[in-house]
Structure 1
Amino acid sequence: MMKNKFLVLMILGIVFITSCSDDDDKDSPKDFNGIYSTTSTERVLDLRYSDVVFIGKSVDFNSVDGKSATLKLQGVVPGESETVFSDVQLVENNSVYTFVAENKNDVRTVALEGSIVKGKLTVDVDVKFVQNELMKKWKLSTVKMTWLPKDYYLVEGKLNTGGVATLLSLGGGMLLKQYLQDVAFLEDGNIVATYNAAVATDENPEPDADWRLSELNLAHYYVKDDICYVYPNVEMIMQQVEADKIGRSTGSDPMLSLLEQLLTGGIPVYFEITKGTGTKADAIYMYLNEVLLKSLKPLIPFIGGLVPGDYEIPILKVPMQPIIDNLPGALDVTTELKVGLKCNAIE
């Protein structure tokens, strides 16, 4: 009898110890704390924005009690360097912890859904902004440019700043229409465009147009104080460029790194909307001003390095090199510089 009791107790003890050991070995959300990135191999972030892959971003995950967590989306929501979700409840199922959360304010609602396991955080983000004047599709009409003073020569005796503004305003729209049809500002903060992806080659220098709608998450926007801040995702754009076989590498490029650094806070795009009357649609003039363009001066040497030294601008028969050499000086004395697109609303 004693042997039987001892045997039963021993079996129960083994079962108890084994079950405790299983619990101890089980990963807890507290073990998953850290920053997850779309470029990391140790803490992988699988991020989707509007159900489309979104690269070049990171999310900070932190759980104190293993039951809830704080998630910080870094540079994911347009106009926000960080979007914080606090006290997000974690639901466990077969060692996978899932969560659903929402962050809402006066201008937008951010819905969050995802899961986390050891080494990988999956996050789906859906954003909806309140209606604004830009939130529609705009068809390209022409290009408009103003550059003051007008008499600073970029090519001595041949081309000054006023001449550049006039030429671009007269011919820029016609040229750009070969590559761009329209631009749309969506309610999720995305900017999409209908563009021509055709590539000229030596065998086919004038290919037929290949009009495509740009992918989501190449660029986002945020409207504040009547300024539209545009956030280009350089990594996503270069990935799209490679997909279109335009011939640009997505590798390390100092110009891209500098551009990304300069534009981290968003590109300030000013806009003026003229309300349509009767059958006439709304019109918009979206432009960059001298403040931003002067800040891009460090890019001029890189751009100059891409242009052959003997290159001449077609039709004008003006060499490009003097323009590049004199452009920094022209920007230094510039008092007003506006360059942008004039578009009409597509109802």
Structure 2
Amino acid sequence: MKKNLFFLFALICSMSLFTACSDDDDDKIKDPVIGTWKVPAVELDENNSVIGGSVFMTWEAPEDTYLSFLPVSAIPSLAIQMGSVILPQVLQDVTLSADGNIVATYSSAGIDLLGEKPITPVWETSPADYATFKLQGNGKMLLFLNLEKIIADANTKADITTVISQLLELVKNGIPVNYALSNNNEEVKIFIDKELMTTIAAMGPAIAELIPDDPDALGSFGPMIKAILGDLPTAMSKTTKFELGLNLKK
């Protein structure tokens, strides 16, 4: 059950980075960001080391700021490497529809971080009523998650009461997300900033409890990720600049 809960939360977080922006409530949204955005494959150098991919991150804080045993200054590089390996295994694409719905193609088959146990994704399409978006203008956006529908479909409500109550507080007025189009609107960066991350960080300890102890889920990285989540609230209280987001392509 914990494994299913963790992938459910991963899907929710991934979808929270896909939105668009508008100045009105027209039935059909007209904006270059409308369409299907694909998660790019991880980029490797000649030594098979990760050099880029679907995740980018900036994090500035005092030198004595740590997550578990890791200094915050080392987190962006690690996040880019791990995130760019993980995300293509759990998320294939996200479609932003002109009617304001968001549909994701995702897999909960598992994650292989080290290339030791290759996992074949089993792609599924999320229902159209899981998430919607509203355009705000000036690179700002609001995402609305139908958490009651998501949790009911997953049959997980009783297991994640703490996380769900915190998520409901976060999403009731829409989740603010930033975006920037480039390369003739063929690429987009979608990211969250310090203000939103500080709110999310408060849920870190509760989210850590959702991570399964099953070594097939996150391998040897599981305990480290759980410790990092537990330290997030303190680290964000010291942070001066934070950006975390996705690089996506048409």
Same fold (TM over 0.5): yes
Q: Larger deviation: 219-228 or 141-150? A: 141-150
Aligned equivalents of 1:190, 1:333: Cα separation in 2: 36
SS at match of 1:137: strand
Aligned equivalents of 1:194, 1:308: Cα separation in 2: 23
Does residue 183 in structure 1 map to residue 99 in structure 2?
no
The match for 2:105 among 194, 204, 208 is: 194
Which residue identity does 2:205 align to in structure 1?
Answer: P
TM-score (norm 2): 0.71
Q: Which protein has the bigger strand share?
A: 1
- 2:232 alignment counterpart: 327
Which residue identity does 1:342 align to in structure 2?
Answer: N
Encode CA deviations 1:191-242: one digit per residue, 9 max, x unaligned: 1111114369xxxx86632112211110000110221211011112123434
Aligned equivalents of 2:230, 2:25: Cα separation in 1: 45
Name the count of aligned residue pairs.
Answer: 206
Aligned equivalents of 2:212, 2:89: Cα separation in 1: 24
The match for 1:302 among 180, 196, 206 is: 206
SS at match of 2:202: helix
- 2:135 alignment counterpart: 223
**RMSD of aligned residue pairs (Cα, Å):** 3.0
- 1:263 alignment counterpart: 171
The match for 1:234 among 141, 147, 161 is: 147
1:170 Cα deviation after fit: 2.3
Please give the residue correspondences for 1:198-209 in structure 2 after superposition, counting only pairs within 5 Å: 198=109, 208-209=120-121
Which residue identity does 1:282 align to in structure 2?
Answer: E
1:335 Cα deviation after fit: 1.1
Does residue 210 in structure 1 map to residue 122 in structure 2?
yes
Aligned equivalents of 2:75, 2:209: Cα separation in 1: 21
- 1:107 alignment counterpart: 24
- 1:136 alignment counterpart: 35
Encode CA deviations 1:163-182: one digit per residue, 9 max, x unaligned: 12111112312211011111
Unaligned 5+ residue runs, structure 2? 1-18, 41-53, 112-116
TM-score (norm 1): 0.53
Q: Residues 150 and 160 of structure 1 are in contact (CA less than 8 Å); yes or no, is this contact kept in structure 2?
A: no
Which residue identity does 2:171 align to in structure 1?
Answer: L
SS at match of 1:177: helix
**Residue identity (%):** 26
Aligned equivalents of 1:285, 1:193: Cα separation in 2: 17
Which residue identity does 1:140 align to in structure 2?
Answer: V
- 1:146 alignment counterpart: 58
1:129 Cα deviation after fit: 2.7
Q: Residues 107 and 129 of structure 1 are in contact (CA less than 8 Å); yes or no, is this contact kept in structure 2?
A: no
Unaligned 5+ residue runs, structure 1? 1-77, 80-105, 110-127, 243-248
Q: Residues 150 and 163 of structure 1 are in contact (CA less than 8 Å); yes or no, is this contact kept in structure 2?
A: no
Does residue 253 in structure 1 map to residue 152 in structure 2?
no
Q: Which protein has the bigger helix share?
A: 2
Q: Larger RCO: Structure 1 or Structure 2 (Cα < 8 Å, ≥ 6 residues apart)?
A: 2
Q: Larger deviation: 317-326 or 297-306? A: 317-326
Aligned equivalents of 1:191, 1:171: Cα separation in 2: 25
- 1:282 alignment counterpart: 186
The match for 1:336 among 198, 218, 241 is: 241
Q: Larger deviation: 186-195 or 290-299? A: 290-299
